[in-house]
Structure 1
Amino acid sequence: MRAVWSLWTKPLKAKRRMSWLTPRHHLLAWVLSVELASRHYADTCLVADDEAAAVLVDALGLRFGTVSLGLNALDAHDPDWWAIGKLYAQAEQDRPYVHIDSDVFLWEPLPEPLVHTAVFAQNPEISLYGASYYRPESIEHDIRRHGGWMPEEFEHYMPFGGELRAENCGIVGGTRVDFMRYYAQRAIDFIEHPANQSVWAQRPRRDQDFVTFEQLMLSACLAYHQAQAGSPFAGVTMAHLFDSHDDALARANARGYTHLAADSKRDPDMSRHLEDAVARHFPERYRRVVDFLASPERNGPSSAWLG
């Protein structure tokens, strides 16, 4: 199983996604995420752009078996598509993998049965259709209104009993790499289709829309192809580390799994625990972060994404 991380810095330079308490804590999170997972998975990969690699690899000394600079190709993309680099990273993979967000810390390896499944993610996310952070109905309305294009998986996706299903992709991957590449490319095509650019231009919260393309599209692709007897993906099934969001909150510690999602990244107590953990477990890496932030390189062009 390959462990994959991705970082596209343009949204950070545009100040679209500055979610950590300080740049110091942002870098410490990268250290903790990569160093912990590297204990369990020898095959590691970073998919990034030049600026990300200059800091994470060259300055901090984080070690990856493979470093791809494929996200340099996204230089002209709208930074509101803040994690499209994660989709590109998954579209590059050619072997079973787990993509790990940099705010996810694997104190223990993922369960063996999980990593051998076709597709897996952190947990399912269930919300009410029409009253959800996900807005597929709004996206579909604007696509039809302005003559845009949508994948058949999205067009045919229906809520069950008034509930939408998406996948929390704090971790995401599997052994059916062909399906995962297909899903990632469908989501990319949806975002990049020429007929949709005028649609996206008039939508006020494209950064919110992105979670639909990343997390709901995965559910939509699974549901659509499971219902198509002739599809090469008809037999692809989904597994989860946790059964629900509440289950993740209740059992994360027992699983040796931490996900500092949303506002927890800016919590002073959580930030202090993060710093203490890196200083205790990876003191050399901790010192690299401290030294880098005090160096002239901190204010160089390759570090602009740190804020």
Structure 2
Amino acid sequence: MKIVQTLWSNNKSLLKNDFGWLSPMYHLMGWTLSCLRLQEYYDDIHLYTDSRASEVLIDYLRLPYKKVHLHYDNIGDYSEKMWAVSKINTYATQEKPFIHVDGDVFIWERFSPDLENAPLIAQNLEIGTACYKDKMDYIRTDLTYIPEFLKEEIDKDSIPSYNAGILGGSDIEFFRQYAKMAMELADNNYQGEMKHKANLDFNILFEQILFYSLTAREGKPVTCYFKDPIVDNGYTKDFWDFSAVPYKQKYLHLLGGHKRNKEACTLMGQLLFQHYPEYYCRINVLFQQQKGYFAHC
């Protein structure tokens, strides 16, 4: 099974920018642990990135990707808030079955055969609450282009979507169609007032909500890692508790604010040191001005 990951730095330093994490150091620890956990079960792991990120992840940390694709040195005039654009482009380049795994997802078992062999794969179905409704209402009036079938979904009181912690499958033609629509939605709206609102909410729309809407329109089933739907604001401690692996939890996803949770980041760093000390120490050296967990690194 081909596993793919995407990191677009937008020409920002991985040593100075936290990319949504508690600190730059934890961002690198998270990315490293995500890759190393995947490598425990898969050999064919590809990174889609840019030169600046590759200098740290590959040249310095020497993360064990089978192949590195420098696709995002000239991705276009997008702000760092449009991070899903790089993921969409990664989906579009795939030519055989794949699973895209976010850099804040960690596994302690191989994905099931049912999941690996499915035409379309996602982490879980999300049930929309007032959380997503408020987000979409905030940007709705500034959207200058939206397909009718998608408009019908975001006008609902409960807006459904699929969480893209993992996304993939064997239906490559669907992903080409989906990626084309996603980029049309992103590019046609990334202007005027919407350009200032281009944040997490907009990414959710053209990645996760669009994915749901298009599969629903075409009647395509989606196989999820978590069989039960989860409300869009219902990602509890079970998704970040590194103390529960591998016995109680075998899949963690530090989505949203979980990446800024100090307890979660501390547990993650300790686990990285325990199981992959050489990688932990390489990261620790990069941040010598900060006090590491263990002085001998």
Shift of 1:153: 4.2
CA contact (8 A) 2:121 2:168 kept: yes
State the secondary structure of the residue aligned to 1:86.
Answer: helix
State the secondary structure of the residue aligned to 2:121.
Answer: strand
User: Where does structure 1 lack aligned partners over 5 or more consecutive residues?
Assistant: 227-235, 296-307
Instruction: Say whether 1:244 aligns with 2:239.
Output: no
Residue number in structure 1 paired with 2:294: none
Instruction: Say whether 1:221 aligns with 2:214.
Output: yes
Identical counterparts, % of pairs: 27
Residue number in structure 1 paired with 2:187: 192
CA contact (8 A) 1:60 1:285 kept: yes
Shift of 1:181: 2.6
- 1:21-71 CA distances to partner (integer Å, 9 max, x unpaired)? 221111111111001111111111101111111111111101211211111
- 1:79-101 CA distances to partner (integer Å, 9 max, x unpaired)? 32122111111111111111111
Question: How many Å separate the matches in 2 of 1:11 and 1:72?
Answer: 8
CA contact (8 A) 2:238 2:252 kept: no
Letter in 2 for 1:214: E
Shift of 1:154: 2.1
1:167 to 150, 162, 171: 162
Question: How many Å separate the matches in 1 of 2:11 and 2:210?
Answer: 22
Residue number in structure 1 paired with 2:145: 149
Question: How many Å separate the matches in 2 of 1:294 and 1:17?
Answer: 16
State the secondary structure of the residue aligned to 1:154.
Answer: helix
User: Where does structure 2 lack aligned partners over 5 or more consecutive residues?
Assistant: 240-244, 290-297
Question: How many Å separate the matches in 2 of 1:181 and 1:291?
Answer: 42
TM-score by length of structure 2 reads 0.83
Residue number in structure 2 paired with 1:301: none
Residue number in structure 2 paired with 1:233: none
CA contact (8 A) 1:123 1:241 kept: yes
Residue number in structure 2 paired with 1:257: 251
Question: How many Å separate the matches in 2 of 1:164 and 1:99?
Answer: 23
State the secondary structure of the residue aligned to 1:32.
Answer: helix
Summarize the alignment of residues 121-140 of structure 1 with structure 2, pairs less than 5 Å apart: 121-128=122-129, 132-135=133-136, 139=139
> Does the C-alpha gap of structure 1 residues 225 and 158 become closer, same or farther in structure 2, counting only changes over 3 Å?
farther
TM-score by length of structure 1 reads 0.80
Question: How many Å separate the matches in 2 of 1:174 and 1:259?
Answer: 19
Shift of 1:155: 3.9
State the secondary structure of the residue aligned to 1:132.
Answer: helix
Question: How many Å separate the matches in 2 of 1:168 and 1:112?
Answer: 20
Letter in 1 for 2:79: D
Residue number in structure 1 paired with 2:242: none
Residue number in structure 1 paired with 2:292: none
1:204 to 187, 197, 209: 197
State the secondary structure of the residue aligned to 1:68.
Answer: strand
Question: How many Å separate the matches in 2 of 1:198 and 1:209?
Answer: 14
CA contact (8 A) 2:19 2:27 kept: no
Question: How many Å separate the matches in 1 of 2:119 and 2:38?
Answer: 21
Relative to total residues, which structure has the larger helix share, 1 or 2? 1
> Does the C-alpha gap of structure 1 residues 176 and 224 become closer, same or farther in structure 2, counting only changes over 3 Å?
same
Residue number in structure 1 paired with 2:49: 48
Question: How many Å separate the matches in 2 of 1:274 and 1:251?
Answer: 14
Residue number in structure 1 paired with 2:79: 78
Residue number in structure 1 paired with 2:4: 4
Residue number in structure 2 paired with 1:119: 120
Residue number in structure 2 paired with 1:101: 102
Shift of 1:118: 1.2
Instruction: Say whether 1:178 aligns with 2:179.
Output: no
Shift of 1:197: 2.5
